[in-house]
A = this chain, B = another copy of it.
Amino acid sequence: MRKKLRQILGKRFLEAPEDLKAYSVDASPYNFLPEAVALPVNAEEIAEILRLAQQENFPVIPRGAGTATTGASLAPQGGLVLSLLRLNRIIEINQEDLVAVVEPGVFTGEFKRAVEELGLFYPPDPASYEFSTIGGNVACGAGGPKGLKYGTTKDYVLGLEAVTATGEIIFCGRRTMKGVVGYNLVHLFTGSEGTLGVITKLILKLIPKPPSQATIALWLESTEKAAQAFLEILKAGLFPSTAELLDDTTLSAVKNLLKKEIHPKAQALLLLEFDGAKKQVEEDLSEAQKTLSNFGMKLDIAVNKKERERLWQARRLISPALKKIAPGKLADDVVLPRSKLPEFLSFAKKIGEKYGLTVACFGHLGDGNIHVNILFEKEDESKAREARNEILNKVLASCGTISGEHGIGFTKKGFLPKELSPEVLLLMKKIKEVFDPQNILNPGKIF
């Protein structure tokens, strides 16, 4: 096997321990040394590799930038990590068709900028967009703050080229805005975490860039109030592009990190963004101010880029701030129907109190996607797991879902039967068999 892979890839076949190490981690707390790493440059090479994997029965783990939080890009069963980073061309950005053709290894931030330079817009914006790939975003169905108004990555994938486990290069979907010829394989690949095929090309939908943007930072006396304020905004018929939440725990962690008192009494922060034509944004801002006049302790507004970035500072510091609280972290990205948000946020807080653990809630309030981070010292791990269990049960009892964007990988496999019925799980497993009869593509993930 190694000999043939060396023939296919030459120097782009890595076996040295120090090379393998770089591919042994993702953003989960786990690490596994793969047996080897391949750096193919095109779909044909990938097809050759997969045909070989099929013959010799070794696992192949597709990998973008390795920022998955669920172990999705790791090699717990050994095998070959297949890096897509060398397929990194932006092939086309077509201003008339409002379509882009890209290879999967393009970094999302680079792509977003290239698109915006042409006056167009690719809305999906996972917080990791500067250091994750478009292919990884599609494979995970990544979301981001703009999901409220613009949807998630999945809503921008029109067509794709993929290599199946059996080594065939297929094209699904289309280059057009719509189409209903045959089953929707594009959205089967989207979110399939590298288990159905290796994505080698993407046709993405673009939209015109909204000319104007504005940010509101509303500092509030409690987390529940923040959630209620957001519901009032929706009730008023306003449709922000973004509504991000920092709950009390998250906000105080950020304050500690910053070592300066931003709005000392505030217990929660709600960040709203509006975009569109200039007049539309002005109108939205004044409507929003009216609607929010009964909420919050202070309301900051920013329309220019620099000021807006200042308002976002607290949001961007969440990750490092929470790291300081405790070494252990159980992180979920649950989604709730919006009406259930205030109650859920109170519930999460009470669970923290019950177990004596820090539970921080933040994230994409707009589409109901709350990042629940349970932070704990080593000795409290089992308590933390119990707390998580209660929280996930509450989510499901509230008609929610246990993951809005991070997916299952292998760290959350155990929770799948909580959400999906045995019949649905069986259908999914059979679909996996259709695409990958020998289970060589990212085995042990999702199921």
Residues of chain A at the chain B interface (Cβ within 8 Å) = 94-99, 119, 140-141, 143, 147-148, 151-152, 154-155, 164, 168, 170-172, 174-185, 187-188, 190-192, 196, 207-209, 211, 231, 234-235, 237-239, 276-280, 282-284, 335-339, 367-369, 399-408, 416, 419-421, 423-425, 427-428, 430-432, 434-435, 446
Contact = CB atoms under 8 A, between A and B. Distances in A.
A385 to B, nearest CB: 19
A182 B96 contact: no
A430 B185 CA distance: 12
Contacts of A231: 96
A335 B177 contact: yes
Contact of A235 (B95, B172, B187): B95
Nearest to A173: B401
Contacts of A424: 170-172, 182, 185
Given A97-B337, A276-B276, A339-B97, A180 B191 contact: yes
Q: Which of A99, A369, A424 has the most CB of B within 10 A?
A: A424
Copies in the complex: 2
A395 B434 CA distance: 30
Given A178-B369, A180-B403, A276-B280, 16 more contacts: A140-B180, A147-B177, A170-B423, A171-B421, A171-B424, A176-B401, A177-B338, A178-B335, A179-B403, A180-B407, A181-B416, A182-B428, A208-B234, A208-B238, A208-B239, A277-B283
A38 B280 CA distance: 51
